[in-house]
Amino acid sequence: MTASIRENYLVTEVLTATPQKLHLMLVEAAIRAGQQARQHWRSGDNEAASEALIRAQEIMSELVAGLNREVEPDLVRRVASVYLFIYRSLMEANFLRDESKLADALRVLEIERQTWRAVCEKLGNDQPVAPRADAAELQITAPKAPIPPPAVELPAAPDYAGGFSLDA
C-alpha cells in the first residue's frame, strides 16, 4: 500500500468514525508512540525516543482537553486524573530516560484501550457518523456514556505543587 493510499484510508477512517472510535484511535496512537520510544531507547536513539514520547504527551493533552466537564463532573475528574497520571509518567520517562515510568504509562494505556474497545463494542462502533466536510471540523470529545474507572490500582503519583488543574 502506498503512503498516499494509506493516508486517504486513515483520513476516511477518522472522518467517518464515531466519537468513541476516535477516542480509541488516540489511545492506540499513544501506545504506539510509547512503544516506539522504548524501541528507540533500546537502539540508542534518544532523540527519536524523545520525539515519540512528546507525541504521546500531546495525545494525552488532547484527550484531557476533550473531556466534557459539564457532564458527570466527578467521573470526568477521575478520568482526567488517570490521563494526567499517564501524561506525567510520559513526561518523567522522557526527562529521566526511565523505562519504568514509560512502563507505568503503557500499563494504564493498555487498560484504557481495553475499556474503549468495550465502549465501542457496546455502543455499536460499526455505525459511523456521516462523513464531515473536512478535517478542520473534527472535534474529539468524550462519549456521553459513563467511563468505568480502571480495574487496577494505579501507582501513586507524586503531588506536584502548581501542577495540573482541571479548574484552570
- The model's pLDDT over 129-166, given as tens digits with 9 standing for 90+, comes to 444 444 444 444 444 444 444 444 444 544 444 444 44
Residue 1: pLDDT band (50, 70, 90) is low
**Higher-confidence position of 38 and 125:** 38
Give me the percent of the chain exceeding a pLDDT of 70: 69
pTM: 0.70
Residue 83 has pLDDT above 90, yes or no: yes
DSSP per residue over the chain, as a string? --HHHHHHHHHHHHHH--HHHHHHHHHHHHHHHHHHHHHHHHTT-HHHHHHHHHHHHHHHHHHHHT--TTSSHHHHHHHHHHHHHHHHHHHHHHHHT-HHHHHHHHHHHHHHHHHHHHHHHHTTTTSPPPPPS-GGG------SSPPPPPSSPPPPPP--TT---TT-
Q: For residue 7, what pLDDT is reported?
A: 73
